[in-house]
Every structure is written in C-alpha cells, then in structure tokens.
Structure 1
C-alpha cells in the first residue's frame, strides 16, 4: 500500500515545479508565478495505491480564499481511510456499488459538516477510483477528468466530467442544501492502455495556452513517460507566467479484458 497526502498550505510550490511518483501515479504541482502576483497555494491532493488488490484512489482539490477547507477534506478522508480501503478490497461490482453510499456518508457526517461551518473558504473536490477495469468518479465543482484511449479518442471522447461551477465543500457547502449537488459516474475502461488524467483549473485557464482543449493535453502527453508528460504541462504554464496554482494527477493502466462492443461488429 502506497500513500501520498498534500495540502498547499504545507508547501506552496510558488515558482517551483515538482513531479512525484506514488507507484505508477504521477502527482504534479506548481504553485504559480510570484512575478504574476502569486503568494499562496490552495490546492491539495490525496493518493492511495494498492497494486495487489488492483485499485487506485485519488482525490484532487482546488480551494478558494484559504486552504483551510482543503486541509479539512483531506484530513477527514485520511480519518476514514481504513473504511474506504476495506470496501475497495471487495470485487469491483461490490466495491463501486458501496462506494456510492460511503462517499456521500463521509461528506454528510455531522461532525464534518459542523467543521465546515467553522472553516474559512471552500473547495472544489474530485475523487477518482480505478478498480479492475472500471473507473468511478465523484465531483463537486470544477476540477477536470480525462480518460485517453484510442478507441475513445476516435469518437472525440476525452473529458469524462462536465465542469460544474458554484459547487463547493467548506464554508459554502453543497451538502447543506436540501438536495446536495454533485456529479458522479462509472466508466468501463477499454482493452489496452488507458491514461487517466485529473487537473485543477490552473492548467486549463492559463493565459496563452490551449489546455482547455483536451486534445492539446493528449498531444503533450503522447509518446513520453507519465512523469515527463506531467512535467511538460507544468513547464509550459510556468513559462506562460500563470498566476493560479496547478495540480495534476496522471497515471496509465493496462487493461487485459475485452470491453463492450456493439452487437453488429
């Protein structure tokens, strides 16, 4: 079991680029350029990898005002780590069904919601789990998830989630509403290599780059190693003088099983 946990208030990476590996998962961090006025980092992430049980659990966060809400969410999930990982040890059919309820319960825990009311600022949060040949995601707010595979790209499919604005966890909390608002989904990965890519919006909203287009990200990642692809993206936004911080989680998984195909093939 390999684990990685980080909040931008612990180390901000302003003017500094870092790519770290958690087993096969690359975590890229750039806190923005001080020359553009940046002085803090309100991103965060959490990565758990279990090679023997064939799963990865990843979380990426993009806070507003302060990083307090980011730290609150990361700490809360670390507190619930054993329960989450116990569920992920089950077969995918059971694990991902149970995850739908478990993640909601974690966000709606009364003690956690009370802590959110006392914090300063709020955060977008995306959770992505790869278990066997399936991908599961849960998104609050505007973080971004791509899956890159030739069969999907041939149909113009790269980005899995719709960015959703005005959703957060923290001082402003979507789970305080009578009907909590978030998006979730499941995806069967295709046979062969699937690249799973998550990012905060510092990458896509950097002036002078076109990374809001998933194909531009795909082109940058093509033909290089996982960490080198992440590094190239971060080098480019640093070169363009981005102010906002950027956090990336990226990994590749090889799926041996055949995937669903239409009946007329």
Structure 2
C-alpha cells in the first residue's frame, strides 16, 4: 500500500485464470475480458466483465477506500474451442470505433490462431491511429466433452 501511494498516476488491473473448464477473474478499472465461443455468440454474449471507471490501483487506490470496489467471478467455459482475450481500453477506444463492439473483435479473431488474431487487431488499430496504448493477450482453450448430467443421476 505504501508503494502504491508513491506511484505517479493510477492503473487498472485484470487477472484471468483458467483452471479446467472454468475461467476465474478479478478486475479493477477499465480493462476488458472476453470469452468467445460460437454458442455464446449466437446469443450476443462475448464480454465477461464490465469496465469500471473511477476504480484504480496506484496513488488513488481502491484498497485505500473504506470498502474496496472491484469485480470478480467465475464462468464455465463452453464445450469445444473457447478463445479468451484480455485487453486495455486502447483497443476499444480506437478512432473510428472499429472495435467498440465485442462482436467485431471476435470476427477479427475467430478463424485465426490467437497470435495471428492479436497481430491483426493491433495492425488495424495502428492503421487507425490509436491514441491510447493497447495491450492484448489472448489464448484458446479446448474444453473436451463433459460427462452428461444423466449419468450422474
């Protein structure tokens, strides 16, 4: 906490961990986590967490508040290939709003390897003269078939 008080400025924090068929996350601030899968996309569901403004770690620190403000959760991944993607606001605030909607990010990544998808996203925002820094981390997870519920009854 003392070291945070000495920092110039503030930062957001997003931690995502996949264990087995579950995705766990902890988020402070305005970073984004997506879980892309065709079954979820059919319902327009892409985003795992929501950006939170006025939450920070640094000189202004949520953990200095009487009640710290953050979000966390657990999401079960779908059977088959899931693509997980973490990003800072630079990607979604790019001029031209090319990636302001989660579906546009998924469309750019869905048929590529995780590395190629990230490279493509970064090339597009560079071409559109992104103003803020952008960090993008992505990986794909294949969840094998689960035991059916009927066999447990």
Matched, 1:191 2:79: yes
Counterpart position of 1:230: 118
Counterpart position of 2:101: 213
Runs (5+) with no aligned partner, structure 1: 1-112
Counterpart position of 2:146: 258
Counterpart position of 2:19: 131
Structure 1 residues 145, 254: CA separation in 2 closer, same or farther (over 3 Å shift)? same
Answer yes or no: is the 8 Å Cα contact 1:198–1:248 preserved in 2: yes
Counterpart position of 1:117: 5
| Aligned pair partner of 2:130 in 242, 246, 253 | 242
Counterpart position of 1:31: none
Answer yes or no: is the 8 Å Cα contact 1:190–1:259 preserved in 2: no
Task: Report the TM-score when normalising by structure 1.
Answer: 0.54
Counterpart position of 2:38: 150
Aligned runs of 1:62-101 on 2, under 5 Å? Answer: none
Structure 1 residues 259, 147: CA separation in 2 closer, same or farther (over 3 Å shift)? farther
Answer yes or no: is the 8 Å Cα contact 2:83–2:114 preserved in 1: no
How many residues of Structure 1 are paired with residues of Structure 2 in the alignment?
149
Counterpart position of 1:25: none
| Aligned pair partner of 2:49 in 124, 136, 161 | 161
Task: Report the TM-score when normalising by structure 2.
Answer: 0.93
Structure 1 residues 259, 125: CA separation in 2 closer, same or farther (over 3 Å shift)? farther
After the TM superposition, list the runs of 4 or more consecutive aligned residues in structure 1 that deviate by more than 6 angstroms: none
Structure 1 residues 259, 188: CA separation in 2 closer, same or farther (over 3 Å shift)? farther
Structure 1 residues 259, 175: CA separation in 2 closer, same or farther (over 3 Å shift)? farther
Offset of residue 258 of structure 1: 2.4
Counterpart position of 1:18: none
Offset of residue 259 of structure 1: 8.2
Offset of residue 191 of structure 1: 0.8
Answer yes or no: is the 8 Å Cα contact 2:36–2:84 preserved in 1: yes
Runs (5+) with no aligned partner, structure 2: none
Offset of residue 243 of structure 1: 2.0
Structure 1 residues 224, 117: CA separation in 2 closer, same or farther (over 3 Å shift)? same
Offset of residue 114 of structure 1: 1.1
User: Separation in 2 of the partners of 1:259 and 1:221?
Assistant: 29
User: Separation in 2 of the partners of 1:118 and 1:154?
Assistant: 47
